[in-house]
Chains A and B, each alone.
Chain A
């Protein structure tokens, strides 16, 4: 089907970004919405699949690269951000999108998250947050509520307050911070598009329900509400977060600053360098 209409409506091209692999996700998983939104965002931006790289760690959501037709790297647990940074710094012409879940990004990869916010390499980081470890059968993650008793590892709850990813990102100086909901894929696609186009490190927390281990999250649909108004004022962003119930969506903070740029120097050939080691009488 290659009609005039197909050309006029760009989002019809989103299927070009979907691979023929059937996701291993459970039916009803929010990550389907994220995949849907992501392919729409890439189609809307008219990206070429070969010039996009999706970098992921380990976990349900980290399987997403293979479900797209772009280049992908499904690395080890928690290390998506440094993989992505290495690629983005050395191949700045590529569109680099790191993805993963809350365990991957905020627990085992937590340190990388902080420094990725600071370092501000030009890339996008999409975290599909369902407050649970899915691939190991449902343990508490850093964003799990302290009184959740659904896991055999913490049968009386975690006794720890959940981590606040947006506050953390803001404190660590990420220049673009947003939250979205997997089951509103069009709005999610809008935020993704802005994040991808942003020159610098753009972080999007995506609330993405786990139907298997947190079926109560199906109720998120009723709880999410738009509310963040993009600001470049940190104090205003912190104030917005102090009123946040965890379900406010939108772009919280957008404050462009120069993206990470490696040192530049005049080119020199190897012989000149080697001369520095030489001594003669």
Chain B
């Protein structure tokens, strides 16, 4: 069930997109807590809170939709890539990552969300879907711009930022 053809499906995508974004940010925050990287942990927590807010907004929209939402399995969502587009990429993380990297990761995620809604707005023949997709795309665009400004406050870290001064230790 395509999000560009069915409003219920579109709304389900919108809710899950934010839900998974929040989940991923929390995972990343936990990982940073484990690695004693509190600055980035705090940043990811903040991103998770933003996603929670957007999730709540998406749910409000969804609840106004009389037709109900389809019960899609995780793999039945039509995402452009391997997972929902606003989920921070696992492979972009590193235990020594700086706020600069974390914001880059978030920027990539928000750009993904913008592209997702923008694509639907362009492609859909369904006016209510287009209206919402345009609205959501605009919001994501704002997030992108905000993140860009935010990133500008952080200097790009030196090239050797990921030097392992304390090499890995044996655990088990």
Contact = CB atoms under 8 A, between A and B. Distances in A.
Report if A and B touch in the complex (beta carbons < 8 A).
yes
Nearest to B28: A27
Nearest to A181: B82
Contacts of B12: 8-9
* Band of interface residues on A: 35 or more
Interface stretch (A84-92, A116-124, A207-215, A263-271): A207-215
A223 B12 CA distance: 31
A5 B82 contact: no
Contacts, number: 125
Contacts of B75: 186-187, 189-190
Contact of A218 (B73, B83, B91, B172): B91
B27 to A, nearest CB: 6
Contacts of A136: 170-172
Contacts of A23: 30-31, 34
A1 B62 CA distance: 14
A187 B73 CA distance: 10
B90 interface: yes
Contacts of B128: none
Contacts of B59: 1, 3, 5-6
Given A3-B63, A8-B68, A185 B74 contact: yes
Interface in A132-161: 135-138
B42 interface: no
A239 interface: no
Contacts of B27: 32, 36
B71 A27 contact: no
B132 interface: no
A99 interface: no
A108 interface: no
Contacts of A10: 71
A28 B172 contact: no
A211 B19 CA distance: 26
A47 B46 CA distance: 32
Contacts of A33: 90
Interface residues of B, number: 42
A27 B171 CA distance: 16
Interface stretch (B93-101, B117-125, B140-148): B93-101
Interface in A219-259: 221
Given A32-B90, A137-B170, A9 B74 contact: no
Given A9-B15, A28-B91, A186-B79, A135 B35 contact: no
A30 to B, nearest CB: 7
A184 interface: yes
Interface in B6-44: 12, 15-16, 19, 23-24, 27-28, 30-35
Contacts of A28: 31, 90-95
B172 A59 contact: yes
A135 B169 CA distance: 8
B74 A190 contact: yes
Contact of A44 (B28, B68, B73): B73
Q: Which of B16, B34, B82, B91 has the largest count of A CB atoms less than 10 A from its CB?
A: B91
A24 interface: yes
Nearest to A4: B63
A144 B97 CA distance: 28
A44 B68 CA distance: 18
Interface of B: 12, 15-16, 19, 23-24, 27-28, 30-35, 56, 59, 62-63, 68-75, 77, 79, 82-83, 90-95, 97, 168-172
CB-CB nearest 9 A-B residue pairs = A135-B172, A190-B75, A27-B31, A184-B82, A22-B30, A28-B93, A27-B93, A8-B69, A135-B171
